[in-house]
Amino acid sequence: MSRKNRVLTWICCALLACSLSLAAASPAQASAGPGRCTGKFVNPITDICWSCLFPISVGGLKIWPSSRPDTSNPALPVCLCGLRPGIAMGFWEPVRLADVSMKPWCFVNLGGMKLDPGFDIGFKSMAGPSAVGGATQYNSQWHVHWYAYPLIYWMEIVADFLCLEQGSVDILYITEIDPLWQDSELTAIINPEAVLFANPLALAACAADCVAATAKLPTDELFWCAGCQGSMYPLNGNVSATIGHVQASRLALARFSYKLHRELVAWGTMGSKGLCGKYLMPVMRKQQYRFQATNPNPQTKGRYACAPIGASTTFMSAGQVYPAIGEDMGYLVWRKRNCCAL
């Protein structure tokens, strides 16, 4: 080898060693996360369980019945808001989309796009069920992205209906920048009552909520339970009783919904109190919501296509998790609305 070639070889080796040392010293970014972010855009026609709109009621009468469980509606068909009379309507409305993923900055319902913010934030939750055995194999940590998705109003399916939530598609909440979502000690600021339910007796009561949610509707009186998914506390994405991706992601989404109510970001819309507008609901009523899977495979039909909070995942896990490309979850959130319509 000539002297010139030896010099070039030495320079190349030095540059390679320098690059490797810099790479090892630099902080992890979104592109270096545990696995590739997956997902697809939600088709507003074919990926929606349109039968989840029903039943539709006027007072206590279901004018469009359904086999899906429904909450209690005001008995009288007429209502009065101030001096304005109206008809007491009850229906289910798709209002939010949610990404639920263990990969920070993974926007599942935006086509599996992973957005790198350019700084190291939100990466504490880069962990899933461990394969090393022991208790750690049941731990997982999730992030949630919350989108405004007033589908019925946006598609103008029902025109001039003041009861519908209005607006456009938008990102409302990203848990990567929320310190309460990643630290159970900080989360105690908004759920100090969690210590009252951290005992075997309170957790055993969740078995009754599991049965009720699977058979019909969850029990709102057992507000500390998320039915078959586990405990509603703490109100963050740290799940210490992970059975599978479907169970853990639904639990994380239920906790996030409760967290929004506790922070007075989300309000009540169901029952007689909701006829004339939204009202404060710091303790979330679980019966107000249904979750429909949109990713990796949309569930658009069947009894448990849009199951209530806490329902058993035995009937909804098939085809929802498969290696490499089926571990990022997306959901459409349906909300019960009672409204005094014109």
pLDDT in tens, 194-219: 999 989 999 999 999 999 999 999 99
Of 324 and 7, the structure prediction assigns the larger pLDDT to 324
Give the pLDDT mean for 60-80. 92
Q: Judge whether 202 and 196 are in contact, CB under 8 Å.
A: yes
> What is the separation, in whole angstroms, between the first and last Cα of the chain?
90
CB within 8 Å of 26: residues ≥ 6 apart: none
Task: Note the pLDDT tens digit of each residue in 238-289.
Answer: 998 888 889 999 999 999 999 999 999 999 999 999 999 999 999 999 999 9
CB within 8 Å of 42: residues ≥ 6 apart: 48, 97, 109, 294, 295, 298, 330, 332
DSSP secondary structure of 29-46: -GGGSSS-----PPPTTT
Q: CA torsion 13→16→21→24, rounded to 10°?
A: -140
Give the pLDDT mean for 60-67. 90
Give the pLDDT mean for 304-321. 87
When the pLDDT of each residue in the chain is averaged and rounded to a whole number, the result is 84
Reported confidence tier of residue 143, pLDDT bands at 50, 70, 90: very high
Question: For residues 284 and 18, what is the distance between their CA atoms, to the nearest angstrom?
Answer: 54
pTM of the model: 0.85
Percent of the chain with pLDDT over 70: 83
Q: Is the pLDDT of residue 187 over 90?
A: yes
Q: Judge whether 62 and 56 are in contact, CB under 8 Å.
A: yes
Give the pLDDT mean for 171-177. 94
Give the pLDDT mean for 109-134. 69
pLDDT at 324: 67
Give the pLDDT mean for 328-342. 93
Q: Outline where DSSP puts E strands in 46-83.
A: 56-58, 61-64, 78-81
Specify which residues 73 forms β-bridges with: none
Q: CA torsion 64→65→71→76, rounded to 10°?
A: 60
Of the listed ranges 35-44, 98-107, 126-135, 281-290, the least confidently predicted one is 126-135
Of 1 and 226, the structure prediction assigns the larger pLDDT to 226
Question: For residues 311 and 296, what is the distance between their CA atoms, to the nearest angstrom?
Answer: 19
Tokens (6 digits) for 127: 């962990």
Reported confidence tier of residue 134, pLDDT bands at 50, 70, 90: low
How open is the CA angle 124-125-128, to the nearest 5 degrees? Answer: 135
Specify which residues 303 forms β-bridges with: none
Tokens (6 digits) for 328: 């990022």
Of 104 and 122, the structure prediction assigns the larger pLDDT to 104
Reported confidence tier of residue 314, pLDDT bands at 50, 70, 90: confident
